[in-house]
């Protein structure tokens, strides 16, 4: 199949970028403690037989910025979950004045992403690192849990960070046009929403994974940036 050419380019993404200082912890939210992270990791390990390696299901930034050591990678499809820009953020890739949107796994549908095998050795440290990266506030926007993922006809259990619908930041299903409006303008000290979308779609395509939802979003975001958003 011929390579698809994205409408959203690095040059367009650069037009959205701006220098933003980290405002630091937001005053109106609570943050996870060392004990909270210990409980998360203990819960995940408790469900894994001793000596077994763990599999991690990556669907977004963990594909292009995994920040964890893995011994094997393969494609996999999670049934009962789908990618969705479904919660608002006021830090990292947004600000209190111009909130962004972040993607998570929400219930329903299916999602094809990458599976990474995490060796048992140093697994606790790896999971701590992942949980601290993916989860900062409480109640959390996303939570780690074991899900079933199909890969090469085999059903596997893998850890995924999925949406917590009880989070105050959860916005449910938004129209693609509304999401594109946000991603074409929001930026924080980690970068812009457009950059996040660009890297995610680019890396998925490199792995031969075509997500129609994200593909449509990158087209809409590109149109808005090019029009002067």
- Active-site positions read 134
Burial bucket for residue 129 (CB in 10 Å: 0-12, 13-18, 19+) = middle
Please, what is the end-to-end C-alpha distance for the chain in angstroms?
A: 33
Q: Please, where are the H alpha helices in 104-162?
A: 123-134
**What is the Cα–Cα distance from 179 to 119, expressed in whole angstroms?**
37
CB distance 65 to 105 below 8 Å? no
Integer Cα distance of 188 and 21 in angstroms? 8
């Amino acid at each position: 199949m011929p390579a698809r050419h994205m409408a959203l380019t690095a040059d367009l993404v650069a037009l959205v970028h701006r220098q933003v200082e980290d405002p630091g912890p937001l005053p109106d939210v609570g943050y996870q403690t060392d004990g909270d992270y210990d409980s998360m990791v203990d819960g995940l390990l408790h469900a894994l037989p001793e000596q077994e390696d763990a599999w991690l299901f990556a669907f977004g930034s963990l594909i292009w910025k995994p920040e964890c050591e893995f011994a094997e990678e393969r494609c996999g499809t999670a049934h009962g979950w789908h990618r969705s820009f479904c919660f608002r953020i006021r830090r990292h890739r947004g600000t209190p004045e111009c909130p962004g949107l972040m993607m998570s796994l929400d219930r329903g549908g299916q999602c094809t992403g990458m599976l990474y095998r995490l060796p048992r050795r140093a697994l606790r440290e790896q999971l701590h690192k992942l949980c601290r990266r993916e989860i900062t506030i409480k109640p959390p926007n996303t939570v780690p849990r074991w899900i079933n993922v199909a890969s090469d006809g085999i059903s596997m259990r893998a850890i995924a960070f999925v949406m917590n619908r009880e989070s105050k930041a959860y916005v449910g299903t938004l129209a693609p046009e509304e999401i594109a409006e946000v991603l074409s303008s929001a930026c924080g000290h980690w970068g812009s929403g457009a950059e996040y979308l660009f890297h995610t779609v680019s890396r998925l395509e490199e792995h031969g994974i075509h997500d129609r939802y994200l593909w449509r979003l990158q087209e809409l975001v590109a149109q808005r940036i090019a029009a002067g958003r």
